[in-house]
């Protein structure tokens, strides 16, 4: 498995793709991240065309087991961020 791109590498690739400087590409990436974070944390969802949909899901209160002791404990309800991958991306990976 290949190593994931670092933010610096992603910014450089984005700058090359956009035919702009790294400072503009970094600002664009930060803006996109900020918009996604705000929308998902407020309970909304964001669709990135060709990539997928990022959304927040609520998990109910449940019983979990401490793996070290085997003790059952109650875990409070919480929220978790999920991502559904777009069919186009799945198809491009599998072709």
Q: How far apart are CA 17 and CA 29, in angstroms?
A: 13
Q: How far apart are CA 31 and CA 25, in angstroms?
A: 10
Residues 23 and 50 in one domain: no
Here the tokens at position 63 are 């019983």
pLDDT in tens, 22-44: 999 999 999 999 999 999 999 99
Range of the domain at 69: 45-95
Confidence (pLDDT) at 86 = 95
Q: What does pTM read for this prediction?
A: 0.78
Residues 18 and 34 in one domain: yes
Residues 24 and 4 in one domain: yes
Q: How far apart are CA 41 and CA 48, in angstroms?
A: 16
Confidence (pLDDT) at 21 = 95
Residues 11 and 38 in one domain: yes
Q: How far apart are CA 87 and CA 82, in angstroms?
A: 16
Sorting pLDDT into bands at 50, 70 and 90, what band is 1?
confident
Domain total in the chain: 2
């Amino acid at each position: 498995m290949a190593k994931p791109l670092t933010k610096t590498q992603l910014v450089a690739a984005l700058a090359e793709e956009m035919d702009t400087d790294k400072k503009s590409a970094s600002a664009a990436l930060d803006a996109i991240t900020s918009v996604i974070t705000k929308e998902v944390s407020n309970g909304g969802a964001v669709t990135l065309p060709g990539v997928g949909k990022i959304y927040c899901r609520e998990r109910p209160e449940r019983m979990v087991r401490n793996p070290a002791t085997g003790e059952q404990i109650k875990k409070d309800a919480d929220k978790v961020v999920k991502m559904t991958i777009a069919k186009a991306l799945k198809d491009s990976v599998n072709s």
